[in-house]
Amino acid sequence: MNVASRLFSLILLVAAWYAGSEIAGPRMLPGPQTVGFALWAEAQSGALAFHLGATLARVAVAFVIAMAIGTALGVWMGRSRLADRLADPWLVALLNLPALVIIVLAYVWAGLTETAAIIAVALNKLPNATVTVREGARSLDRQLDEMAQVFRMNRWMRLRHVLVPQLAPYLAAATRSGLSLVWKIVLIVELLGRPNGVGFEIGIAFQLFDVTRILAYAIAFILVMLAIETFLVQPIERHVSRWRPKAA
């Protein structure tokens, strides 16, 4: 039933796409089979793998940096009132700074380099991760902390067995919203100042008004992110929440 309804919804989407392309004409909205062939051609030439790889690498590096710093900052702010008061205005400023402003400034200050691109993306994701993890750190159980202290658990044990499991739902939420945010921003960064990647390719296609190629790359990337969600994020989430009593 579940699979069937999802499949029906997907078929409806493709049908609507097909109908739309009939109405708007193949130049404005090429049909599914045209885009499918373009996707296949790009895959055959190796261009698809190259650009997808470049983009995914940027997503991965920026995501890891943002999550690591954001988690550390979030835990610190969640546990210390002074830290929260000191860092909160910075966080609000960063949260409300448009992504485009951060990207342009990074390129102006650090040049059109890979480092500037990664920093710009990571800075865009950082406040979002910090705010989510701070919420988690605020709800940490002091009683378990005391238990760990009385039983003389070392720092590593406390981190791994007491702190991280409590933060797991918040880390999962930050990961989920983070991945989709990061890849969208990586595309803009590539469009504005990198010589490769899906964003760069879409930029070229835009100049040529090549809607087919734009859709082909977009679909390829959506498929990759869907695979990451299904085969990486969800299994990890299931594993870390295996101890929770199942709902009847």
Partner 1 sequence: MSPAGGPKQLDVSITHKSYRAVSGGSIEVLHDMAFTLKSGTVGALVGPSGCGKTTLLRIITGLDTDYTGTVHLPAHGKLGMVFQEPRLLPWRTVDQNVRLGAPEATDSDLDVLFGVLGLAAHRHHFPGELSLGQARRVALARAFAVKPDLLVLDEPFVSLDAALAKHLQEELAALVTSRHVTTLIVTHSIDEAIGLADRLFLLSASPAHVIAEVPIARPRSPHTPEELAAIRGDIARALGKIGK
Of residues 7, 10, 146, 222, which one binds partner 1 by CB under 8 A?
146
Query: What Å distances lie between residue 232 and 8, 136, 237, CA to CA?
Result: 25, 22, 9
| Contact call for residue 224 and partner 1 (CB under 8 A) | no
Where does this chain touch partner 1 (CB under 8 A) — which range of 52-60, 147-155, 214-222, 230-238?
Answer: 147-155
Q: Going by C-beta distance under 8 Å and a sequence separation of 6 or more, which residues neighbour residue 121?
A: 58, 59, 62, 66, 182, 185, 186, 189
Least Å distance, CB 236 to partner 1, is 14
Query: Which is nearer to partner 1, 230 or 241 (by Cβ)?
Result: 241
Least Å distance, CB 160 to partner 1, is 9
Query: Which is nearer to partner 1, 41 or 144 (by Cβ)?
Result: 144
| Contact call for residue 140 and partner 1 (CB under 8 A) | no
**Rounded distance between C-alpha atoms, residue 211 and residue 38, angstroms:** 11
Query: What Å distances lie between residue 219 and 105, 131, 159, 225, CA to CA?
Result: 30, 31, 39, 10
Q: Count helices and strands (H / E) in the chain.
A: 12, 0
**Rounded distance between C-alpha atoms, residue 115 and residue 58, angstroms:** 10
Of residues 2, 3, 244, 247, which one binds partner 1 by CB under 8 A?
244
**Binding track, positions 154-183, relative to partner 1; x by CB under 8 A:** ---x---xx--x--x---------------
Burial zone of 174 (CB within 10 Å; 0-12 exposed, 13-18 middle, 19+ buried): buried
Of residues 89, 245, 247, 248, which one binds partner 1 by CB under 8 A?
245
Q: Going by C-beta distance under 8 Å and a sequence separation of 6 or more, which residues neighbour residue 88?
A: 77
**Rounded distance between C-alpha atoms, residue 188 and residue 3, angstroms:** 34
Least Å distance, CB 227 to partner 1, is 28
| Contact call for residue 139 and partner 1 (CB under 8 A) | no
**Binding track, positions 90-129, relative to partner 1; x by CB under 8 A:** ----------------------------------------
Q: Name the site residues for partner 1 (rule: CB under 8 A).
A: 143-144, 146-147, 149-153, 157, 161-162, 165, 168, 240, 243-245
